[in-house]
Amino acid sequence: MKGLRVIGDYAAEFLVITLLVAASALSVIFLVPVLVGVTGYFSRELDARRFRDIFTTIGKNWKVIVFYTIFQLIIIVFPVLNIYFFNTHPDKTNNFVLAISVIALLFGTIYLATSPTVIVNMNVKFRQLLYNGFMMLFGSLWRSIISVLLLLGIVALTLTYPYVLVLTLYIVPMTISKLMKENFYKLKAKALNTSVEQLKRKEKEDDYLDEKGAVKPADIHFEGTENSAEGSDGDEAASEDTDEAASEDTDEAASEDTDEAASEDTDEAASEESGDVEKADIEEQSEGDEAEAAEDVDKTNVEEQNEIIASNTESSDSAQNE
């Protein structure tokens, strides 16, 4: 599955890049900006490439691209027209004009191979671009020669066998961007007194880690290999298990809180009821005590009255006997 996906990615790239470069070449003016954007696109790994990177690269560097486009149109287009179409100069000056045109075309081809990599990887102005574009040749002489020959081959195909040109519009920009990127790494590693491997490792860490060493947000990264996909699936499953466990803990805590609240309410209600019952019992007991006290008073009064009556009776009887 991974092999089929890679083949599909390359097939999609071939179609899109070929059509885009061909359309820009027909317009002439937009060829240089598109080549810069394509270089920015190929500077990323296959899994991280997005076609919008082409236009994002152009948008970020549009100021220097404007001057670079004008420079390339002058140094490439006019010599090509002069060599192949306007070769009507007098015999005394024809060779001189042709020599100047060839030299200008050679320099234009060199800058067409090196400058897009400088624009993509360095924040430069036009004057700095001319200097650094020429210095890129010394990163590796044989890679530079291959890049220039590839571009010269495209020019030759354009003028002689244009129907074969379609096959080169994807392969040549990709190959040149890879070769020039290696030149850039070599020159930068030499300037920083380090190795190319350490520089690439540091750049990869910068792509995935922020200044504090933490992993950058997901909007910066894209899908990786199948192993990373499986790892992400495992992480998702683990996060789901964690969420389920957290929800269960939350439910248990909520149920415990509910039970505690219910028990507290029940205890309060029971205590209130028991308090009411105790109050009622006390009131009933007090009423009973009051009734008993009243009965005792009544009994005492009756006994006192009986005693008075008996004493009165005895006194009357003693008076009659006398």
More confident residue, 100 or 317: 100
Within a 10 A sphere around the Cβ of 195, how many other Cβ atoms? 13
**How far is residue 162's CA from residue 247's CA, in Å, rounded to a whole number?**
67
Residue 209, strand partner residues: 215
**How far is residue 136's CA from residue 117's CA, in Å, rounded to a whole number?**
9
Range with the poorest average pLDDT among 22-36, 47-61, 301-315: 301-315
> Is position 293 within any domain?
no
The answer on pLDDT for 170 being more than 50 is: yes
Convert the pLDDT of each residue in 79-113 to its tens digit. Answer: 877 777 666 555 666 777 788 888 888 899 899 99
What DSSP line would sit under 198-240, residue for residue?
HHHHHHHHHHHB-TTSPBPPGGG-----HHHHHHHHHHHHHHH
pLDDT band of 219, cuts 50, 70, 90: very low
The answer on pLDDT for 251 being more than 80 is: no
> Is position 38 within any domain?
yes
> Is position 237 within any domain?
no
In the chain, what percentage of residues exceed pLDDT 70?
Answer: 59
Q: How many domains, the chain?
A: 1
The answer on pLDDT for 247 being more than 60 is: no
The answer on pLDDT for 280 being more than 90 is: no
**Domain, as residue range, for 23:** 2-193
pLDDT for 23 equals: 93
Rounded mean pLDDT, 3-24: 90
Whole-structure pTM value: 0.62
> Is position 241 within any domain?
no
The answer on pLDDT for 284 being more than 80 is: no
Convert the pLDDT of each residue in 112-154 to its tens digit. Answer: 999 999 999 999 999 999 999 999 988 888 888 898 888 888 8
pLDDT band of 53, cuts 50, 70, 90: very high
**Is 106 in contact with 114 (CB distance < 8 Å)?**
no
How high is the mean pLDDT of the chain? 74
**Which tokens hold the place of 175?**
């190959």
57: CB partners within 8 A, 6+ apart: 36, 37, 39, 40, 41, 120
Nearest to 117 by CA among 197, 61, 72, 189: 61
**Is 75 in contact with 121 (CB distance < 8 Å)?**
no
Residue 215, strand partner residues: 209
> Is position 280 within any domain?
no
**How far is residue 26's CA from residue 75's CA, in Å, rounded to a whole number?**
18
More confident residue, 253 or 104: 104
> Is position 117 within any domain?
yes
pLDDT band of 37, cuts 50, 70, 90: very high
